[in-house]
Amino acid sequence: MTARDLHGWIVYLFAAYNQRLDDTVIDAYAEELRDVPPAELEAGVKRAIRESPHYVPSAGQVLEAVKAGREAAASPPYVPCGQCADGWLEVEPARNVIVGHNRAGHAVVSRIAPTVKRCECWLAWKRQGQPTPAINESKSIPRTATSEKVAQFKRRMVGQERTR
Ligand SMILES: [Zn+2]
């Protein structure tokens, strides 16, 4: 992957939050993400955006998302058993419940949503798909306001000690 591809995805990441970023931030993210295989970077960036609806994910969070995507790809696909609806079983169907009577004496009915539980086929698949232990522990930074994250990166870039 050329540096431009990597930078392109970093810009894409920040653009998803309408954030402008300066070269310092690009370089900080590029430093952390440079070893991500190109094939996994796009999916990782998009997953990180989905998982962080409000704040720009840190580079560590993007790495986590890349890892999660890798694990998802490695696990066998889920195939419903045919007795359930995509892994959900209906325990109790949707029903109407009389919750009272109005002044005219008519029943006031409330619609109750169906009660569902996970089907055994889904549970078995989930157990099977347990991710293997992490290769290296998370480097992710706790979710904080974007400006604080940027400040953290800048501090790191100028060689000062990280606060965490
Ligand atoms: Zn099932």
Kindly report, residue by residue over 103-160, the tens digit of the pLDDT.
999 999 999 888 899 999 999 988 875 654 444 444 444 444 456 666 666 666 665 4
Distance from residue 45's CA to the centre of ligand 1 (Å) = 32
pLDDT, tens only, 61-71? 999 999 998 88
Distance from residue 130's CA to the centre of ligand 1 (Å) = 18
Over range 81-97, report the average pLDDT: 91
Three-class SS state of 155: helix
For the chain, list the strands marked E by DSSP: 88-92, 95-101, 107-112, 115-118
Q: What share of the chain has pLDDT > 90, as a percent?
A: 49
Distance from residue 69's CA to the centre of ligand 1 (Å) = 24
Distance from residue 123's CA to the centre of ligand 1 (Å) = 9
Contacts of 53 (CB under 8 A, 6+ apart): none
Over range 88-109, report the average pLDDT: 91
Per-residue pLDDT band for 10 (boundaries 50, 70, 90) equals very high
Q: What is the pTM of this model?
A: 0.48
Distance from residue 64's CA to the centre of ligand 1 (Å) = 30
